[in-house]
Structure 1
Amino acid sequence: MKGKIYLTTIIVLLSSLSFFAQTPTVLTLKASGVSSTETPEGSSHLSVSATINGAVNANNTNCSVSFEYGLTTSYGNSIAANPANVTGDYGYAVNAAVTINYTHTSSTQERLIHYRLKVVNENGTYYGRDFTAIPIHITRNIFISAPCSDSQTMANFDMANNEPSLSVTVNYNAGDGYTGNVIIGSHQAQQIFAPKGSVCAFYYANNLFLQVLTNDQFCSETRLARQWVWMTATGAIASDKFIFRIENGNNYPVDLNLLNQSTTYPYTIAANSVAYLVADKTTTEMSVAGVPFLYSEPNSYT
């Protein structure tokens, strides 16, 4: 009787090992070549493109390989991987080029692709874990400064686009009818005008990303420190925390006050240097010598 028990146990164990040997290894991996565009320029019709990647070991079975992808973890789209079929007992790198098109409706809407690897063999269906492909937000590469102006009534804003291959459309509103948009080519610059003493709001894809106080100085005057201090929102590090990049272009240190929510962060930034602030994911106001002059809006992307 004991021998039969042991034999049954061995048979069950071997069956279990055989089952696990036929289970493929499925890994979703980081995407590459992630980019984002608006079509046409200045519209809210956006797209995200990426090459999504994975790895499969068929463990001596015949496997069909695909990716599921979409704006959420419900996915809703499927594409065959390259290669679409694998076998044998060694690892395959698989990938697929995908694009998601959608309408951007709010500043909190994520611009990303959710995706996971899917493998099917005669024993069942197996999934890799969910990954996200997130483009660098375009507003990180739009730089706006307020130079001096010798006009009695009008100030200037210089706008530069450091995107390597994409023209961007920036809308602006300084009040009193001074509204419009400019298309800035890759590595190009444009200039707009606004009434002195106003705050100009800048938008990309219908979303506010920066507000800047005009520079009311004449060019013959000594430049104020705040005219060479800039701040941009660079990305989220948690669902409620954001990184703001601060740059001081002056040849001397500058004392800043950064207001985020109800908390003020005093900070001295060294001459010709860059610093980073981690703060709540909301508007951050920057002031020098008690004068607020720049308001940076967090985008919803990393």
Structure 2
Amino acid sequence: MANTSARMLRLLSLLQTHRYWPGGELADRLNVSERTLRRDVDRLRELGYPVDANRGVAGGYQLQTGATMPPLLLDDEEAVAIAVGLRTAAGGAVAGIEETSVRALTKVIQVMPPRLRRRVDALRAYTVPAVIGGGPTVDSLALTAIAQACRDDERLRFEYTARDGDRTTRLVEPHRLVSLGRRWYLVAWDVERHGWRTFRVDRLTGAESTGARFRQRELPGGDAGAFVRDSITSMPSQYRIEIVVRAPVADVERVASYLGGTVEAVDDRSCRLRMNADGMEWPVLLLAALDADFEVVRPAEFRDYLRATAERFARAAGDLPACPVEAVTDAPVARDR
């Protein structure tokens, strides 16, 4: 790599995304000699980046937490603001950037000095977020701890509450965090149950790394997002909803993937959408987002829920006369997942 500045940025990026890099592997990644690598590491240290080095045959490099923030053209107030903003985004306040926010937050926390971490934690502890739309919330500290364990290939231990309320202690080899809808999922190999599992992070408490390293296993299919969607689809649910949508498969898949639904083509202009759900609110929102005509195949309860919802909106628009309070209470009640 001829451009020294570009090479150093690449080196810094690699050090920030892996706990420990053997010297030979790092030099190969940068396409330089180990002697050049040592000079580049020295330059990073001169700039304030705390890079530890181990000598010998098994020697390597590791970026450590420093006494001060490295010169990222940020002052302390800006660093705190960025960490708080990333935690807010990781909580789902801005759709579509949750996973990126967790990765960025992991890097920022890694190099942030303790005095700034305390300020960020204090602000989090004494701030009450206004969660829009309900649904489970996830502590960004837990997300960060899990993301670091995934990155560092370290076993993770936590308490987990299943759907039926059964509480167990789990020891896992974490693979990936997946954001789907308003929920976060951890894909991991369960050490004691000898198999791949999907865990909802909002049902997980006390997550902490054991410090024991492991070699990543090959996930069936190789796609963590698809693995979570398949797990949700196969999970027993109160409602198995099937709908024919008058829209191309590609248009429906972009929206259906948000809830883990499956889509198959009927013809060029329509497709069949299947969803497993414990409540009917999210399927209704999904269908509204599709902006296409559709027909409910099953179940009858979902048709009734749609009919009641449509009548409620029609009354609000003035197309139907207002109904008494008693009639409103007879409408199907949405159930939380």
TM-score range, shorter chain: under 0.3
- Compute the TM-score of the two structures, normalised by the length of structure 1: 0.26
Q: Which has the higher strand share?
A: 1
Q: Which has the higher helix share?
A: 2
Bigger CA radius of gyration: 1
Relative contact order (C-alpha < 8 Å, sep 6+): which is higher?
1
- Compute the TM-score of the two structures, normalised by the length of structure 2: 0.24
